[in-house]
Amino acid sequence: MRHFLSAADLTRDTALGLFALAADLKQRRKAGRHSEPLAAKTVALIFEKASLRTRVTFEVGVIQLGGRAVHLVGRDIGLGTRESVPDVARNLSLWVDGIMARVYSHATITALARHATVPVINGLSDLEHPCQALADFFTLWERGVDFGTMRLAWIGDGNNVCHSVMILGALLGASIVVACPPGYEPDAGVQATVRRLGGRLEITEDARAAVTGADVLYTDVWTSMGQEAEHEQRLEAFSRYQLNETLVEFAKPSALVMHCLPAHRGEEITDAVLDGKRSIVLEQAENRLHAQKAVMLRLLGGSVDDV
Ligand code: CP
Ligand code: NVA
């Protein structure tokens, strides 16, 4: 793996290796053990869109590994407007050891990777959010969930987070069912990737059928960043896809509730479910840090035993 642009850049073994490394990094952190494998390395963090978790976990992650982060706002560097994406990639490669970017168009992240001579990490595009899916499946792995028998029900928009969860779920042998209104299904190319990987995938309009017997329920906002003009239309389209206490009752009693956050409370999920006993959303958020540190170590080199 030279870059991490899509969950499809992983294999089952790479993902399991990253989970083990993330668990080691997490345990070292909690035990107060410190090492600086990324000492003297610098990572550029580019943001075309807002962020809390991705911004903080990448910046803190680089610092904890002994490196430095340079925060760049898309608007300021004029990615694709002031300067072409290939030229930004070529220039940044002269100064930094890695690039993480959150972009509108997935084509921007693939162009960055094509023209950079340093590793590029996708911190969310309109097509995928692979760091999120990696942290999510790490969270389930830590809890001892058996991916081979797991049924994950995605309720709502077939969006970027859904795509990465579908792909990584397929790689790990999970069964995925996506319940969404017509017109909001996951991307056809991503569905084809999942099927090529041998993934067990169902798409349905019936949220209740999707949730029935599920081990994991996952939802995300109905209006992603960049889709704000469609907000009213989306509120109407998704009104029957809210993850609320009534819907959750159809899942297994042991079912876990996941959300990548930020949540639009009262839209795709109710307070009672988001803050309820099944919710593992804060574990997911915490694990962004550990999973991404593992990715940076793998891509930028260095071992946790380096001082
Ligand atoms: N889940 C996630 O990526 O959060 P941010 O948008 O706050 O980075
Ligand atoms: N689907 C959401 C995820 C945010 C982390 C978005 O793209 O805005």
The domain total for the chain is 2
270 with 222, same domain: the answer is yes
115 with 166, same domain: the answer is no
- Judge whether residue 160 has pLDDT over 50: yes
Mean pLDDT score, 177-200: 98
Pocket test for ligand 2, best of 53, 190, 220, 223 (most atoms within 8 A of CB): 220
Q: pLDDT class for 63, splitting at 50, 70, 90?
A: very high
For residue 24, tell me if it sits in a domain: yes
The CA-atom distances, in angstroms, between 105 and each of 9, 108, 117, 178 are 18, 5, 21, 23
295 with 268, same domain: the answer is no
For residue 137, tell me if it sits in a domain: no
User: Residue 53 sits in which domain range?
Assistant: 7-129+288-301
Ligand 2 atom nearest residue 227's Cα: 8
Least distant ligand from the CA of 225: 2
Nearest in space to 21 (alpha carbons), one of 248, 279, 290: 290
Tell me the average pLDDT of the chain. 97
Q: pLDDT class for 305, splitting at 50, 70, 90?
A: low
Per-residue pLDDT, 306: 52
- Judge whether residue 275 has pLDDT over 90: yes
* 120-130 burial code (b ≥16 CB/10 A, e <16): bbbbbbbbbbb
82 with 182, same domain: the answer is no
Q: Which residue among the candidates 64, 132, 284, 292 is catalytic per the annotation?
A: 132
175 with 234, same domain: the answer is yes
40 with 75, same domain: the answer is yes
Mean pLDDT score, 240-264: 98
Q: Quick check: CB of 225 below 6 Å from ligand 1?
A: no
Per-residue pLDDT, 288: 98
- Judge whether residue 240 has pLDDT over 50: yes
CA distance 26 to 211: 32
- Judge whether residue 22 has pLDDT over 60: yes
268 with 186, same domain: the answer is yes
C-beta separation of 69 from 63 below 8 A: yes
Q: Quick check: CB of 161 below 6 Å from ligand 2?
A: yes
Question: Per residue in 134-154, pLDDT tens?
Answer: 999 999 999 999 999 999 999
Mean pLDDT score, 225-238: 98
Residues of the chain above pLDDT 90, percent: 95
Q: Concatenate the DSSP letters of all residues of 14-62 into one string.
A: HHHHHHHHHHHHHHHHHTT----TTTT-EEEEEESS--SHHHHHHHHHH
The CA-atom distances, in angstroms, between 63 and each of 60, 253, 296 are 5, 40, 12
Cis peptide before 130 (omega within 30 of 0): no
Ligand 1 atom nearest residue 56's Cα: 8
22 with 86, same domain: the answer is yes
CATH code of residue 165? 3.40.50.1370
Least distant ligand from the CA of 282: 1
Model confidence pTM above 0.95: yes
For residue 138, tell me if it sits in a domain: no
150 with 273, same domain: the answer is yes
For residue 306, tell me if it sits in a domain: no
Mean pLDDT score, 200-220: 98
Mean pLDDT score, 2-22: 98
For residue 185, tell me if it sits in a domain: yes
Active site residue 233: no
Active site residue 132: yes
Name the least confident of 57-61, 80-84, 89-93, 278-282.
80-84
For residue 136, tell me if it sits in a domain: no
112 with 168, same domain: the answer is no
158 with 119, same domain: the answer is no
225 with 272, same domain: the answer is yes
- DSSP annotation of 151: E
Q: Token pair 């999920």 is at which residue?
A: 269
Per-residue pLDDT, 307: 38
199 residue type, one letter: G
Q: Quick check: CB of 260 below 6 Å from ligand 1?
A: yes
- Judge whether residue 39 has pLDDT over 70: yes
- Judge whether residue 184 has pLDDT over 60: yes
For residue 251, tell me if it sits in a domain: yes
For residue 307, tell me if it sits in a domain: no
